[in-house]
Amino acid sequence: MLLSAVFPLQEYLRQRAEISALETERDQAQDRVSALEQERRRLQDPAFIAAEARRRLHFVLPGETAYVLVDQPPPLPAADAAAPVGRDAPWFSQIWGSVREADRPTAP
């Protein structure tokens, strides 16, 4: 009698675990839907679209003057600076280091 109840009990517990996992998945999907609906409402707001166009695309209204600050790029390394060589160096540095080593004359 006890053995005949084991399989249904296992099946019941498995189904309860599956239901719990599906409920969690449903709750996550509902949260995602809510976030997407909020994003949709925000994207339908003309003031938000204008602000994003000004921020991302540097749009200006007639009569305004736009200024864009550009960061100065970092200086390039000197041409004769030794490239890092070793296991910790990136692969392209290892290749460039081997090219430099091959270009140097060897002592007799």
Q: What does the pLDDT look like over 25-43, one tens digit per residue? A: 999 999 999 999 999 999 9
Kindly give, in sequence order, each residue whose CB lies less than 8 Å from that of residue 101, ignoring residues fewer than 6 positions away. 85
Give the other-Cβ count within 10 Å of 22's Cβ. Answer: 10
Look at 17-21, 68-72, 83-87, 96-100 and tell me which has the smallest mean pLDDT: 83-87
In DSSP notation, 3-52 reads HHHHHHHHHHHHHHHHHHHHHHHHHHHHHHHHHHHHHHHHHT-HHHHHHH
Note the pLDDT tens digit of each residue in 51-67: 999 888 889 989 999 88
Predicted local distance difference test score (pLDDT) of residue 106: 73
Tell which wins on pLDDT, 79 or 27.
27
| C-beta contacts of 98-102 below 8 A and 24+ residues apart | none
| pLDDT of residue 85 exceeding 70 | no
| pLDDT of residue 77 exceeding 90 | no
Predicted local distance difference test score (pLDDT) of residue 33: 98
Predicted local distance difference test score (pLDDT) of residue 51: 92
| pLDDT of residue 108 exceeding 70 | no
Statement: the pTM of the whole predicted model exceeds 0.85: no
